[in-house]
Amino acid sequence: MDMMISEVKVAPNFDVEEALKKTYPGVFEEGLGRCIKEEVTLQLMPNVRPVFCRSRPVPHAALEAVNAELNRLEQMGVITPVNHIEWAAPIVCVKKQNGKLRVCADFSTGLNKALQSFDYPLPMPEDIFALLNGGTIFSQIDLSDAYLQLELSKE
């Protein structure tokens, strides 16, 4: 797809960020936000059995950073210690560009296969670009810990 930009207009000296902070102060608060529109419910396939997968070894050099990240997630209320659980997935640690550690769960070990699939057709890039045609203001958003802001239902 070939595209050419013929003109870029810069908005007048108006501090959009400050205006947004005044209008929506809760969005700019420190700490982890919470998506309050609705809870996420994971729909399991019928008659599926829980999968408990043992933890994988963490490299000794990364142990301190992993523990610090797990403590941070616990302090934010993202994870909670439990005594007994039927489902368990090992963690995978990935070093981010900023040098910090991202701790992820490897749900390919069982949960992914047990979930019902809800396919949603994604729009084609060409269709999105057509919708943007004539637009005058464009923005970019970076959601820190975006998935951690979604709450799972108790089910």
The answer to whether residue 102 is domain-embedded is: yes
pTM of the model: 0.68
Write out pLDDT tens, residues 42-99: 999 999 999 999 999 998 989 999 999 999 999 988 899 999 999 999 999 988 888 8
The answer to whether residue 79 is domain-embedded is: yes
- CATH number of the domain that 128 lies in? 3.10.10.10
Residue 123's domain spans which residues? 45-143
Instruction: Please report, for residues 62, 96, 102, 128, 136, the alpha-carbon distance to residue 99 in angstroms, rounded to integers and kept in the order given.
Output: 12, 5, 10, 34, 36
How far apart (Å, rounded) are the C-alpha atoms in residues 128 and 33?
Answer: 28
The answer to whether residue 63 is domain-embedded is: yes
The answer to whether residue 6 is domain-embedded is: no
The answer to whether residue 68 is domain-embedded is: yes
As for how many domains the chain has, the answer is 1
The answer to whether residue 29 is domain-embedded is: no
Write out pLDDT tens, residues 133-155: 998 888 877 777 788 888 888 87
The answer to whether residue 149 is domain-embedded is: no
Determine the pLDDT at residue 50.
94
pLDDT band, very low/low/confident/very high, at 1 (cuts 50, 70, 90): low
